[in-house]
Amino acid sequence: MLSKYFLEPCLEFLKTHKFRTIALQFPDDKLEDASEISETIENISKAQVYVLADTSYGNCCVDEVAASHVDADLIIHFGYSCLSKPAKSKKDLDCGNLKECVSALGGDKNYLIIFDPCFAYVQDSIMETFQDKSNIRVSRIPFYLDPEITVNPDGRVYKPIENDYSILYVGSKDLHQLSIMSIHCHSQFYILEGKQFVEQSIYNNSMLRKRFHL
């Protein structure tokens, strides 16, 4: 078991650091090993150990949201990792600049604003910025699972959009952005670059062309 999960370096690290609460995150298909590993880590660390289940995002992403529910000061992630930045890797966002960039697009088209998880800490401010715009929807990243709330395929919460709409993406050009773009492949897609939104096309990206057999 130790060699399977590369636990020895992990245990050595725990021996030289003091943590109060540790959260363990496993892929869904490895949860059967969680009990034995958590007991081993608890004996070595003398900390309170929790196993995270029903992760907020994919198995490959560090689920700091679930870990925050137990006030964990350490997360140990097992299995494949996409190495995406946790939401606590905050980036600055000027909501005033964002509003100006959206206004510069002009017209009364319907827009859906989707932002990278690193901006989740200001999502309330983003929603407040556009609350008086009936043609603009702002998506929300849920911090907990609620059976009464419908989470869309892109992992966001927003009211259904009946008419044609364009995506305004706030974030970096990376795999996360490509994933969002592939989900909303039938909509115009813009990404915020500095002081303006720039239109993107699946035809200009080799990965998306391959995915859609273009």
At residue 214, does pLDDT exceed 70?
Answer: no
119 CB neighbour count, 10 Å cutoff: 20
Please state which architecture CATH assigns to domain 7-77. Answer: 3-Layer(aba) Sandwich (3.40)
Query: Could you report the per-residue pLDDT of 5-22, keeping only the tens digit for each?
Result: 778 888 888 988 889 999
Contact 163, 110 (CB under 8 A): yes
In this chain, the answer to whether the domains covering 7-77 and 95-211 adopt an identical fold is: yes
Residue 49 has what pLDDT?
94
Please tell me the predicted confidence (pLDDT) of residue 141: 83
C-alpha 196: how far from its chain's center?
23
Q: What is the pLDDT of residue 54?
A: 66
Q: What is the rounded (10 degree) CA torsion for 142, 147, 149, 154?
A: 60
pLDDT one-digit tens code per residue, 128-183: 999 998 899 999 987 665 677 888 888 888 987 777 899 999 988 877 788 888 88
pLDDT score for 116: 86
> What mean pLDDT is reported for the chain?
83
pLDDT tens profile 56-101: 666 777 877 778 788 888 899 888 766 565 555 567 889 999 999 9
Specify the pLDDT at position 207: 64
For the beta sheet containing 111-115, the strands, ordered from the edge strand earlier in sequence to the opposite edge, are 136-138, 111-115, 166-170, 189-193, 196-200
The pLDDT value recorded for residue 100 is: 94
For the chain, give every domain's residue range.
7-77, 95-211
Q: How do residues 107-127 score in pLDDT, each as one tens digit?
A: 778 999 999 887 888 889 999
Sign of CA dihedral 172, 174, 180, 186: positive
Q: Which fold has domain 95-211?
A: Rossmann fold (3.40.50)
Please report, to the nearest 10 degrees, the dihedral formed by the alpha carbons of residues 6, 68, 33, 11 taken in order. Answer: 30
